[in-house]
Amino acid sequence: MTQASTANTTARKRRYSAGLQLPYTHLLGDADSREQLPTPSLLVDEEALGRNIARMAQFTRQAGLKLRPHIKTHKCSQIARLQLAAGAVGISCATLDEAEAMADAGITGILLTSTIVTQDKLERYLRLLRQAPDTLLVLDHPEPVSRLSTLAQAAGLQAGVLIDLDIGYHRSGVRTEEQAGAVVRAIQDSPALKLLGVQAYSGAIQHIAGLDQRKAVLTEQMSALSRLLAHIQASTGQLPICSGGGTGTHALDAQQGIFTELQAGSYVFMDADYARIDLGEPPFETSLRLRASVVSVNCDDLDGDERFVILDSGTKSFALNGPAPVCLTAPWENASFRFMGDEHAHLILAPGSAPPRIGTGLEFQVSHCDPTVHHFDHLYVVRGETLTDIWPIDARGRS
Amino acid sequence: MTQASTANTTARKRRYSAGLQLPYTHLLGDADSREQLPTPSLLVDEEALGRNIARMAQFTRQAGLKLRPHIKTHKCSQIARLQLAAGAVGISCATLDEAEAMADAGITGILLTSTIVTQDKLERYLRLLRQAPDTLLVLDHPEPVSRLSTLAQAAGLQAGVLIDLDIGYHRSGVRTEEQAGAVVRAIQDSPALKLLGVQAYSGAIQHIAGLDQRKAVLTEQMSALSRLLAHIQASTGQLPICSGGGTGTHALDAQQGIFTELQAGSYVFMDADYARIDLGEPPFETSLRLRASVVSVNCDDLDGDERFVILDSGTKSFALNGPAPVCLTAPWENASFRFMGDEHAHLILAPGSAPPRIGTGLEFQVSHCDPTVHHFDHLYVVRGETLTDIWPIDARGRS
């Protein structure tokens, strides 16, 4: 290690032992610490992560777009800081809890991409707005608009809001010109609210594997977006923000000339789902791995498809919604993965291959990065075989 | 409220504001606090939970069995304490992390039901054994037996161990007499290890819906268990512990006369999966509910199957592996549930029924209790419409 990185490691060990309750800090900086990590655990390749962050920053800059990356993927303020340092205008959050955790970590430019509607959460939103005044919220119904307006006026605050548009995914948002008009009027009625733009996000489209099929669905959705946007602009004038897009469509989104900023998030980590998707060009690397141990090897009496060993990682580690995790550790790349409950899985050995010894550490490309990260409290950051940092997943929590 | 319960509530408010970082303690004891809880959140009906705990305690006592309930269901030391107070001899834990959290909370009689094999975890196990000397571990291979033996001898400790038997589920354990013999000999070779019995758990069988089909599979597995147990006893003498069983088979397990103790866990909460299973008699109640809010209502332009509202609870709240969550809040019991990503779901309205207003709180029987609880940090304990306590899910964490 260089002198600078040794000093870094010492500072990190001190930081952790001083305050944060983090496990396994004693391994920081040890040459072979990666293989001593407890399992199941999530590892991030520091260099691959850095390249992914730089590439998306460069892509959006060259496309003339702003980047407000979605942190529901990583839920980690350390990664959000790296994204902001690379030029992001802020971050997108899925839940109020995430937004509060990020604001507590000093992150600014937060867009809350899910509407909130209850009195309690609207009050929490105003506390957040006092702490981080540039925080934005999406809304899709006159009732919470009016409720927020009353609360904001009473508190003497002004909230910047976007209208959430449903352009075909049917998760949230207004779908018709009538619905959009009602929300616009409710916002215009309130001196405490400032309409800054629209959001249009389409989750399922990100996962359409073929580039042409994805392009066809996107084109249809962009026409719905243009129509609703034109209708809203007719009564409000030009709006500064049109936010949306994702990792799966980022190259296509940029060609449409409609979005002003992208919310892509998964590009930081990638996963087995994105690995099977044709992104046009493959500019992002798998930087996230789940490390598991082989904890039971009693397959000497088994044949064929049923020669398996047991891993200590099940549905409480790997997310279920995605393709099966892929073993990245040689020579078991051709072994297949099968869930066996909350804490265990089978690694089914390819014909003729030797089983790993009991205790062997194996690393996997995860099924789906967002809900996998949600299972864990920490990211172990590695560079080669060395643990270089441990980052709390500080926005992990209720959904 | 009675004077005693008011005093309790005051003490709880003080406890929480003093030390623990818990949310929403200001609602404790308020008459209509249930409907003010944030969403998504997990609620436990204190009275139904108490009845479930008492019923399983009484059942095992009458059957002449010990109860060592599995806490991977609730991961909550407060519930473990209630189970011990009702007569359980200890608890079962799925992971070393769970066992450490429970020991830190003062729980004794811990059985770690998953084998551990790496140097690091075996060392942590010995630290746990120093803290809670009656902690038991299952093993299924001579290598970790020998590694534990060396470590325990060096530490001057004696560890009580069980042999894990695979009786048909193929998750872990020895399957053949040869494999069992090798583990027995390795344990017998070590003065630091004491063989106290066997474990045989069969997860999938718990979820076979029909009682007769479940009985047929169980009978076959019990014959494998008897055979392996007799083989082990031939070289070791009678063993005091034969641990296994679960909520789905508890009545059948007790009839076999082989188990000395049951590990049932789900009976505390129950879920939509267990609700469709014929348990012979239905003695357990659904005490766990997930509360969600309706956050988007823009269905006025939709017809038929596609009349839906949006809930703030997706795959980061409800577990995916189980039947769909069931709405328990009138009049939406006939509405169906469809996942829409990490944070959202559709509630598809039954034909002719009125949509709930935006902001309405709805409660659900969860799909599968164990992995649902794993998503959350707290249980909100309710009695009628009142929040009576907040329990940290203190063993939530890596797997």
Contact A134, A194 (CB under 8 A): no
Reply yes or no on whether the pLDDT at B280 is more than 80: no
Q: How many CA atoms lie within 13 A of B87 on its CB side?
A: 17
Closest chain A residue to B73 measured between Cα atoms? A342
Q: Please report the number of interchain residue pairs, chain A to chain B, with beta-carbon separation below 8 angstroms.
A: 183
What dihedral do alpha carbons B11, B14, B16, B20 form, nearest 10°?
Answer: -120
Structure confidence at residue A305 (pLDDT): 66
B171: nearest CB among A294, A313, A340: A340
Q: Which amino acid is at A283?
A: P
Instruction: Copy the structure tokens of residue B185.
Output: 């000999």
Q: Is A299 on the interface with B (CB under 8 A)?
A: no
Reply yes or no on whether the pLDDT at B14 is more than 50: no
Reduced to 3 states (helix: H, G, I; strand: E, B; else coil), residue B251 is helix
> Whole-angstrom Cα distance, residue A342 to residue B113?
13
Reduced to 3 states (helix: H, G, I; strand: E, B; else coil), residue A209 is coil
Q: Which domains does chain A have, with CATH numbers?
A: 3-45+285-392 (2.40.37.20), 47-275 (3.20.20.10)
Contact list in B for residue A74 (CB cut-off 8 A) is none
- Residue in this structure with the two tokens 């001579």, named with its chain if needed: B142
Q: Are strands A136-139 and A159-165 parallel, antiparallel or unpaired?
A: parallel
CB contact under 8 A, B342 and A315: no
> Whole-angstrom Cα distance, residue A364 to residue B322?
25
Contact A271, A42 (CB under 8 A): no
Instruction: Copy the structure tokens of residue A204.
Output: 């399922």
Cα–Cα distances in Å, from B346 out to A53, B329, B356? Answer: 33, 15, 12
Ranges B6-20, B232-246, B251-265: which has the least confidence: B6-20
Instruction: Copy the structure tokens of residue A378.
Output: 């920490």
Structure confidence at residue B3 (pLDDT): 44
> Whole-angstrom Cα distance, residue B357 to residue B256?
53
Q: What is the DSSP string of B329-388?
A: STT-TT-EEEE-SSS-EEEEPPTTPPPPPTT-EEEEE-S-HHHHHTT-SEEEEEETTEEE
Q: What is the DSSP string of A333-379?
A: TT-EEEE-SSS-EEEEPPTTPPPPPTT-EEEEE-S-HHHHHTT-SEE
Check residue A171 and report its DSSP letter.
S
CB contact under 8 A, B116 and A374: no
Cβ neighbours, 10 Å, residue A331: 11
Q: Are strands B336-339 and A361-365 parallel, antiparallel or unpaired?
A: unpaired
B158 vs chain A: nearest CA distance in angstroms? 22
Structure confidence at residue A282 (pLDDT): 56
- Residue in this structure with the two tokens 């309790």, named with its chain if needed: B8
Instruction: Copy the structure tokens of residue A77.
Output: 């303020």
- Give the residue ranges of chain A where pLDDT is below 70: 1-22, 280-282, 304-305, 398-399
Backbone angles phi, psi at A294, to 5 degrees: -80, 115
Average pLDDT over residues B373-393: 96
B226 vs chain A: nearest CA distance in angstroms? 19
Give the residue among B97, B211, B346, B359 at the shortest CA–CA distance from A41.
Answer: B97
- Residue B290: alpha-carbon gap to chain centroid: 16
A116 vs chain B: nearest CA distance in angstroms? 6
Q: Is B146 on the interface with A (CB under 8 A)?
A: no
Contact list in B for residue A101 (CB cut-off 8 A) is none
CB contact under 8 A, A114 and B312: yes
Sheet with A91-93: list strands edge to edge. Answer: A66-67, A261-262, A241-244, A193-200, A159-165, A136-139, A110-112, A91-93
Contact A264, A56 (CB under 8 A): yes
- Residue A283: alpha-carbon gap to chain centroid: 17
Cα angle: B380, vertex B383, B386; to 5 degrees: 75
Ranges A17-31, B160-174, B223-237, B327-341: which has the least confidence: A17-31
CB contact under 8 A, A398 and B115: no
Instruction: Copy the structure tokens of residue A283.
Output: 């500019």
Contacts of A148 (CB under 8 A, 6+ apart): A122, A125, A137, A139, A159, A161, A190, A192, A193
Closest chain A residue to B369 measured between Cα atoms? A342
Q: Name the A residues in 207-266 with CB < 8 Å from any B CB.
A: none
Contact list in B for residue A370 (CB cut-off 8 A) is 316, 342
Residue-wise pLDDT for B114-132, tens only, equals 999 999 999 999 999 999 9
> Whole-angstrom Cα distance, residue A205 to residue A220?
11
CB contact under 8 A, A296 and B176: no
B399: nearest CB among A40, A175, A370: A40
A6-20, A27-41, B19-33, B300-314: range with highest mean pLDDT = A27-41
Cβ neighbours, 10 Å, residue B18: 7
Structure confidence at residue A19 (pLDDT): 41
> Whole-angstrom Cα distance, residue A176 to residue A181?
9
Q: At how many degrees (to 10) do helices A96-104 and A77-85 cross?
A: 70
Contact list in A for residue B144 (CB cut-off 8 A) is 358-359
Q: Name the B residues in 350-389 with CB < 8 Å from any A CB.
A: 357-359, 370-371, 374-377
Closest chain A residue to B180 measured between Cα atoms? A298
Structure confidence at residue B302 (pLDDT): 76
CB contact under 8 A, B295 and A376: no
A40: nearest CB among B94, B371, B398: B398
Beta strands in chain A (DSSP E): 41-45, 66-67, 91-93, 110-112, 136-139, 159-165, 193-200, 241-244, 261-262, 288-296, 308-311, 326-327, 336-339, 345-348, 361-365, 378-383, 386-392
What dihedral do alpha carbons A106, A111, A113, A117 form, nearest 10°?
Answer: 90
Burial class of residue A154 (count of CB atoms within 10 Å of its CB; 0-12, 13-18, 19+): exposed
Cβ neighbours, 10 Å, residue B237: 8
A176: nearest CB among B301, B313, B342: B301
Cβ neighbours, 10 Å, residue A191: 10
Q: What is the DSSP string of B202-249?
A: -TGGGG--SHHHHHHHHHHHHHHHHHHHHHHHHHH---SEEEE--TTT
Q: Are strands B361-365 and B288-296 parallel, antiparallel or unpaired?
A: antiparallel
Contact B390, B382 (CB under 8 A): no
Q: Name the B residues in 32-61 with CB < 8 Å from any A CB.
A: 36, 38-41
> Whole-angstrom Cα distance, residue B384 to residue B364?
16
Reduced to 3 states (helix: H, G, I; strand: E, B; else coil), residue A25 is helix
Burial class of residue A275 (count of CB atoms within 10 Å of its CB; 0-12, 13-18, 19+): middle
CB contact under 8 A, B321 and A316: no
Reduced to 3 states (helix: H, G, I; strand: E, B; else coil), residue A185 is helix
Q: Name the B residues in 75-94 with CB < 8 Å from any A CB.
A: 94
